[in-house]
């Protein structure tokens, strides 16, 4: 599993106009590297959901993307309020998004479950008042 390249992006807080820019850039890179279409789609959806979570809930953060020959590892770190109950947050339909966020079409409570669904390995760690880290691994041959 040799590493092809690493990309790092800073994701701004509450910047909905720019939200998704990091995911779009990663999608373009994966396309240029000729990964399978289905793999690129899974990585794009997982990263976009994580990026949006950082924008909405995390107060922004950093996305670090490690691209290997046969997989991609997406590490999303924020210094936001943290998640008190991860099990609850992982349930479909559970969301703490405000009404104004919901008006933008977010807040369906599907973000974290969607990330898990697209991933081959998904780790989430969170500490209240410290922040949240997601490590998403997607294999190109799965």
β-strands 121-127, 71-78 pairing: unpaired
Least distance from C-beta 73 to other proteins, angstroms? 18
Three-class HEC string of 109-128: CCHHHHHHHHCCEEEEEEEC
Q: State which residue, 108 or 128, has the beta carbon closest to other proteins.
A: 108
State yes or no: residue 110 binds other proteins (CB under 8 A). Answer: yes
Contacts 24+ apart (CB under 8 A), 81-89: 81/57, 81/128, 81/129, 82/126, 82/127, 82/128, 82/129, 82/130, 82/131, 82/132, 83/124, 83/126, 83/128, 83/132, 84/128, 86/124, 86/126
State yes or no: residue 113 binds other proteins (CB under 8 A). Answer: yes
Least distance from C-beta 129 to other proteins, angstroms? 26
Q: Binding residue for other proteins (CB under 8 A) from 50, 61, 111, 131?
A: 111
Least distance from C-beta 1 to other proteins, angstroms? 25
State yes or no: residue 86 binds other proteins (CB under 8 A). Answer: no
State yes or no: residue 140 binds other proteins (CB under 8 A). Answer: no
Q: Determine the interface stretch with other proteins among 1-9, 11-19, 57-65, 68-76 (rule: CB under 8 A).
A: 11-19
């Amino acid at each position: 599993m040799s590493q092809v390249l690493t990309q790092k992006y800073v994701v701004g807080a509450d910047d909905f106009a720019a939200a998704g820019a990091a995911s779009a850039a990663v999608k373009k890179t994966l396309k240029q590297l000729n990964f399978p279409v289905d793999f690129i789609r899974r990585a794009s959806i997982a990263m976009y959901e994580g990026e949006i979570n950082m924008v909405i809930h995390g107060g922004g953060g950093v996305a670090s993307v490690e691209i290997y020959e046969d997989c991609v590892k997406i590490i999303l770190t924020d210094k936001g309020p943290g998640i008190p109950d991860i099990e609850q947050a992982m349930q479909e339909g559970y969301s703490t998004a405000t009404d104004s966020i919901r008006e933008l079409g977010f807040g369906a409570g599907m973000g974290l479950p969607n990330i898990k669904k697209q991933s081959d390995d998904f780790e989430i760690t969170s500490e209240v008042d410290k922040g949240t880290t997601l490590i998403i691994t997607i294999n190109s041959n799965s």
